[in-house]
Amino acid sequence: MMDVRDVVVEYGRRAAAVRAVDGVSLSVAPGESLALIGPSGCGKSSLLFAMAGLVRPTEGTISVNGEALTRPRREIALILQNAGLLPWKTVWQNANLSLLLGKEYPRVTARAVLDELGLGEVRNRYPSELSEGMKRRVGVARALSTSPNVMLMDEPLASLDTLTKERIQDLFLRLWKRHAFALVLVTHDIEEAAFLGQRVAVLSDRPAKTKEVVENPAMGELNYRDTAAFAETAQRLRAALER
C-alpha cells in the first residue's frame, strides 16, 4: 500500500519558490490502478517523482506499507516521459539497465519479458533503429525487469498515434493483470485514464490539487472502450477537467 498524505512539492526557496504540488492525498493498494490526469505543467511529474522517492516532499509524507519513503526503492519502478533509453546500448542492454548497473548479470527472465512485449526479435538493435512504439515498450521492459510491486508511469504514450497508443494501452492492461503490480499512470489523455484507471484523480492547474476522484470500476477488459460505462467515465473526466 502506498499512501500519499498532504504532500506539497516546492522548488526553490522563499520568494523564488515554485509550488508544483499543493497538499495532495491519495493511496494505492496492491494490484490497484490509479490514473492521475491534469493539465500541462500542473505538477503531475513532480507528484509522481515524489512517489518514486526521487523528490522529497516539502510537506506531507509518503509511505509504503507504513514505512516512510525517503529514497528510490527497487520495488517501485518508474517509466519516464521519454522512455529514457541510452542510445549507445541495445534493446536488451537498455531493458536490463538496472541489473547491469548493479553488476548483476541479467537472468533468463529478462528474455521472457522482452518476448512478452514483442521485443525478442529486436533485442540486439539500438534505439535509433526502433519505432517510437518499440522504444516505449523497451522502457516498459526495463521497468518490469525488477519485478516491481508499484509501477509508476509518466505519460508513457504521449505523442504516439492513436492506434499504436491503444495497442500499448491493451498491453499495459494485460501486464497489470498478469503481474499484479499497483499501477499509477500519469496522463493528460482522457481516454487513456478511463481505459487504465480503476480510479482517476483529476488534478487542478498548478499547483496540483485533487479536484475530484472519479471511480471507474467497470474497467479491466480489452473491449471496455466500446462500452457505455467508458464513455460515461470519459465524459465525467472531461467535465471535471473543465471545471
Q: Alpha-carbon distance 188 to 180, whole Å?
A: 24
Least separation in angstroms between CB 189 and ligand ATP:
11
Q: Report what 41 binds from ligand ATP, Mg ion, none; CB cut-off 5-8 Å by kind.
A: ligand ATP
Q: Which three cell numbers stand for residue 213?
A: 476522484
Q: Alpha-carbon distance 222 to 138, whole Å?
A: 22
Tell me: does residue 41 bind ligand ATP (CB under 6 A): yes
Least separation in angstroms between CB 55 and ligand ATP:
8
Tell me: does residue 128 bind ligand ATP (CB under 6 A): no
Position among 33, 45, 149, 216 found at the interface with ligand ATP (CB under 6 A): 45
Cell 529514497 belongs to 71
> Toward ligand ATP, which CB reaches closer, 47 or 143?
47
Angle, vertex CA 104, rays to CA 103 and CA 106, nearest 5: 125
Least separation in angstroms between CB 4 and ligand ATP:
14
Position among 4, 7, 46, 149 found at the interface with ligand ATP (CB under 6 A): 46
> Toward ligand ATP, which CB reaches closer, 114 or 193?
193
Cell 526557496 belongs to 13
Stretch that binds Mg ion, among 20-28, 38-46, 133-141, 143-151 (CB under 5 A): 38-46
CB 184 within 8 A of CB 151: yes
> Toward ligand ATP, which CB reaches closer, 18 or 239?
18
Q: Which three cell numbers stand for residue 87?
A: 542510445
Q: Alpha-carbon distance 98 to 170, whole Å?
A: 26
Q: Alpha-carbon distance 172 to 167, whole Å?
A: 9
Position among 45, 145, 204, 216 found at the interface with Mg ion (CB under 5 A): 45
Binding-residue pattern over the window 53 to 92 for Mg ion, x denoting contact by CB under 5 A: ----------------------------------------
What single DSSP character describes residue 42? S
Position among 44, 123, 135, 137 found at the interface with ligand ATP (CB under 6 A): 44
Least separation in angstroms between CB 188 and Mg ion:
9
Q: Alpha-carbon distance 183 to 39, whole Å?
A: 20
Tell me how far CA of residue 51 lies from CA of 71, 129, 216, 219, in angstroms. Answer: 10, 33, 22, 24
Query: What is the binding site for Mg ion (CB under 5 A)?
Result: 45
